[in-house]
Amino acid sequence: MRGLYVITDGSIGNELLDKVEQALRGGAAIVQYRDKSADTARREQEALALQALCRQHNALFIINDDVQLAKAVQADGVHVGKDDAALATARDYLGKSAIIGVSCYNRLELALQAAQQGADYIAFGSFFPSPTKPHAPRATLELLREARSQLEIPICAIGGITLENAPDLLANGADMLAVITDIFNNPDITRQATLYQALTRKQAKHYPA
Ligand SMILES: Cc1ncc(COP(=O)(O)OP(=O)(O)O)c(N)n1
Ligand SMILES: Cc1ncsc1CCOP(=O)(O)O
Ligand SMILES: [Mg+2]
């Protein structure tokens, strides 16, 4: 796994599908449906529509937090953090072939443990001030380098990523760049996604596509 990993946000509103499609046209490799609302019916409907869109564009589709929803819509996988299902629980529920990503914040030991327990990728961040999650713990490029030297699974970087700071993340070992604001707040989402994809193709060479 590598490339641009776009994450949806509740604030995108009713242009959700349209905006995600624009990102996919620009070459986003992975889409995460991240919706913190309690509206189960709408969440399922949106997730199903996004799943179909990702299939059309050969992109992976990941559900944030919710293993039940991931199974219900046959998503490619789920992303879990400290307040979500444990990795082992998610694996039991979704099976061997599901992609399970685990948030490790700024903690190498969590990443080593997740890798040992069968995570498909891990995520560190926030690397930079994030408009979406201003109070997220701050991760460093040094942590990324150290993790790169110890981990074989793909590493995702998240938090306040922009086209200006993305090259440092890639140069220090990130395989995937998870982005909300700098993609979905851009007036030309497709072009912005294309620019990210070009950067990741140039620099993330740790794994085959
Ligand atoms: C790719 C990716 N990385 C990190 C997160 C954050 O997960 P978590 O810590 O569970 O926080 P929420 O996103 O659930 O608020 C993520 N979602 N995706
Ligand atoms: C979910 C999450 N976890 C750490 S930072 C973040 C939000 C990233 O969004 P943005 O790209 O807007 O900083
Ligand atoms: Mg979570």
**Would you list the domain boundaries of the chain?**
3-203
Q: How far apart are CA 208 and CA 65, in angstroms?
A: 28
Is 3-203 a CATH 3.20.20.70 domain? Answer: yes
Q: Is 71 a catalytic residue?
A: no
CA separation for the pair 2, 18 (Å, rounded): 23
Output the residue whose Cα is nearest ligand 2's atom 8.
Answer: 159
Query: Which residues fall in the annotated binding site?
Result: 32-36, 64-65, 84, 103, 130-133, 160, 180-181
**Mean pLDDT of residues grouped by 10 in the chain (209 residues)?**
96 92 98 96 97 98 98 98 98 98 98 98 98 97 98 98 98 98 97 97 58
At residue 14, the pLDDT reads 81
Question: Of all helices (H) and strands (E), which one includes residue 103?
Answer: strand 99-103
Predicted pLDDT at 202: 83
